[in-house]
Amino acid sequence: MTILDGKKVSNDIKNEIKAEVDKMKANGEKVPHLAAVIVGNDGASLTYVGSKVRACERVGFESTMVRMSNTTSEIELLDKIEELNENDDIDGFIIQLPLPPQIDTQKVLMAVHPDKDVDGFHPMNFGKMALDMSTFIPATPFGILELLDRYQVDTKGKHTVVIGRSHIVGRPMSILMGRKGFPGNSTVTLTHSHTKNITQITSQADIIISALGVPNFLKAEMVKDDAVIIDVGITRVPDENAAKGYVITGDVDYENVSKKASYITPVPGGVGPMTIAMLLKNTLLARERHRKSNK
């Protein structure tokens, strides 16, 4: 069994990006600039945005954190997005989710200019991804592809089962694993909360990508020998014995499933670190595109 070490691979990617940025600096070019908009005081969101800012510092990007209060109106947020769209100094920006209830998330994500949508959530970018055109791939699916690529996990002709159909992970993953090329060329089954006989389906899978958000959902009896397991789930489970009062748990019963798997991602330290690394990679791509379009 091989552990797909997202921590190590994400460090490798950050080092590669830093080398690119160092070249830009040496040539007197503008370095990539990523902005993050956060509305409210959600603890997990603040932690996540903070780690993105630190990652930017590490690779030599410029970064801006835009903090807005919990009472921000939809109009105020849309005005701020328009300001960022028109700011030529900013190459890409993200809107940290979840947003407060008074704001229509879909309307906000639609307002981000596709050329600056480094999260890959805009319908134009999603459509391009579905059509195999060059675009920003959402960071988590992009990270999963990169892990499969760097560990040379065979996907051609394999049966991939995706658990969960979110727009951020499940649905894009089902499209990407079926595309031509590597990683891809697999036969994909997309499962969700209404899927019947899910164990029957997962037990036939060569590759399982679980993005359900249900701790320890995938049990050993649901998995065949030598399956490849990608665990996207990340849930805080209360635990009185843990120093923080909780433990981070994935969708997969790691202890038992890992005994049957050929490859598996740990939680934490698997897909999570890859997401931030690929967000940086998308921002580097955005800078490169803007440089070419300004020539």
Binding-site residue set: 164-166, 234
Active site residue 253: no
Catalytic residue among 14, 52, 116, 158: 52
Which residue has tokens 């791509």?
285
Active site residue 96: yes
Catalytic residue among 5, 91, 117, 119: 119
Catalytic residue among 5, 80, 96, 158: 96
Pairing type for strands 187-191 and 207-210 reads unpaired
Q: Cα dist. 34→63, 200, 283 in Å? A: 5, 44, 7
- The 3-state secondary structure of the chain reads CEECCHHHHHHHHHHHHHHHHHHHHHCCCCCCEEEEEEECCCHHHHHHHHHHHHHHHHHCCEEEEEEECCCCCHHHHHHHHHHHHHCCCCCEEEECCCCCCCCCHHHHHHHCCHHHCCCCCCHHHHHHHHCCCCCCCCHHHHHHHHHHHHCCCCCCCCEEEEECCCCCCHHHHHHHCCCCCCCCCCEEEEECCCCCCHHHHHCCCCEEEECCCCCCCECHHHCCCCCEEEECCCEEEECCCCCCCEEEECCECHHHHCCCCCEECCCCCCHHHHHHHHHHHHHHHHHHHHHHHHC
Active site residue 119: yes
Residues 6+ apart with CB under 8 A from 23: none
Instruction: Report residue 155 as tokens.
Output: 């996907």
Per the annotation, binding residues for NADP(+) are 164-166, 234
The residues annotated with a catalytic role in the active site are: 52, 96, 119
